[in-house]
Amino acid sequence: MSEQLTLEVQEDNSAQRARDDIEVSVVLPCRNEGEGIGACVREARAALARYGYSAEVVVCDNGSSDRSVESARSAGARVVHQPIRGYGAACLRGLEAARGRYVVLADGDGTYDLSVINRFIEPLRAGYDLVLGTRRNGSILAGSMGAAHRHLLEPIQTWLSRRFFRFRVSDVRCGVRSIRRDALPRLNLGATGMEFASEFLVEAARAGLSTVEVPVNFRPRSSGRPRRTVGDGWRVARHLLLLSPTRLFLAPGLLCLLVGVTLEIALLPGPIRLREGVYLDFHFMFVGGALAILGLQLILLGVYAKTYALVHEPELADAWIRRFHLRYTLERGVALGGFVFAAGFIINVSILAQWVAGGFGVLFAVRPAVLALTLMVLGAEIVFAAFFLSLLRASEFGRV
């Protein structure tokens, strides 16, 4: 028994020394890239040897049905497998399997020029946490990217990232980047699809990783067919929106609520004359009521999303949402909603009193009735939202 234990310890120590000797791991996600994965691995290995790095190339196979695995192994790569389909899933498994102090992540279809892999390693040696490739400041060769992605979808995704998350990246979808292994635990990564690339950058921005961009050349795939699809672009844009409840829910909701309430109050005394023959009348009060109700609903959805982040991922939550919940108790929410509801109810009671006083005849009180109905619906929404928020935050604040 003691001899077996000694042997196991020696094997563990040998494995640990082997891991410690690896400075760079190049991770290549791959699914049915038999035409190009071998050349990609050889290019990476040649560059690593030329620059003198102690390194490995890890290919993460994502359920290939061609000869991708055989091609990768014959070129000198270590192959791991990820049965869960998706670009992000393959990247996550590859990052998990990598043993180097620095990890370079690149696509396995040969579209990126890995002969200049030193650009992604030397900044890490100098102390940066993350190195990002940029095709916009490098070169995009003819046939490597469809026109829709090059001139519309990817610029929009980059703009959304810069606008929503305040990090200055020129190419959010570039598929080659490198990171220090000790920085990876600071990223909360989980996307399994193409949105992994943007999630990676969002998490890096939230974690405050020191980042530098380096130019990279983007080449056509060996098959000659661009890989990106419109569906991929939409999933990335959708993911960025979902990561920013303020822009997705709160900002448009607040705008709708303000416009709706302003319309109703402005039209309550009577029609508004814009110019000769052009009036805004009570019909626009209906529009205002609908906008106000929609706006409050969007605001509440945004608060729900922020509250969920506060409870489940407090390190990612905005500071203001915690202050909000410390002051906005269930009782205050019910009181506020009850006050708004009561205001609408009182208006309706006054309309009813006028109708009774007029002998139950014809009564045209559309303007105050629309405002009253809007206030009652808004008040009811606020009351029920206060109860739902209490359910969401109970575990975090220990009270309702």
**Could you tell me the residue ranges of all domains in the chain?**
2-242, 245-397
- DSSP SS3 for 67: coil
- In the structure, what pLDDT confidence band is assigned to residue 358 with cuts at 50, 70 and 90? confident
pLDDT at 261 over 70: yes
pLDDT at 46 over 60: yes
Question: Tell me, what's the pLDDT at 128?
Answer: 96
Mean pLDDT score, 65-88: 94
DSSP 131-197: EEEEEEEEEE-TTSS-HHIIIIIHHHHHHHHHHHH----S-TT-S-EEEEGGGGGGS-----STTHH
**Of the listed ranges 87-91, 300-304, 305-309, the one predicted with least confidence:** 305-309
Task: Give domain 2-242's CATH superfamily.
Answer: Spore Coat Polysaccharide Biosynthesis Protein SpsA; Chain A (3.90.550.10)
pLDDT at 11 over 50: no
CA distance 169 to 134: 8
Query: Using an 8 Å Cβ cutoff, are 34 and 108 in contact?
Result: no
Mean pLDDT of the chain: 84
Half-sphere exposure of 32 (CA within 13 A, CB side): 6
Query: Using an 8 Å Cβ cutoff, are 333 and 382 in contact?
Result: yes
- In the structure, what pLDDT confidence band is assigned to residue 263 with cuts at 50, 70 and 90? very high
The proportion of the chain whose per-residue pLDDT surpasses 70, expressed as a percent, equals 79
Mean pLDDT score, 270-277: 85
Q: Using one digit for the tens of pLDDT, what is the confidence trace for 189-233?
A: 888 888 788 788 888 888 889 999 999 988 887 655 555 555 555
CA distance 65 to 382: 54
pLDDT at 118 over 90: yes
CA distance 77 to 45: 9
Which regions of 222-305 does DSSP assign to beta strands (E)? 272-275, 278-280
Indicate the pTM of the whole model. Answer: 0.64
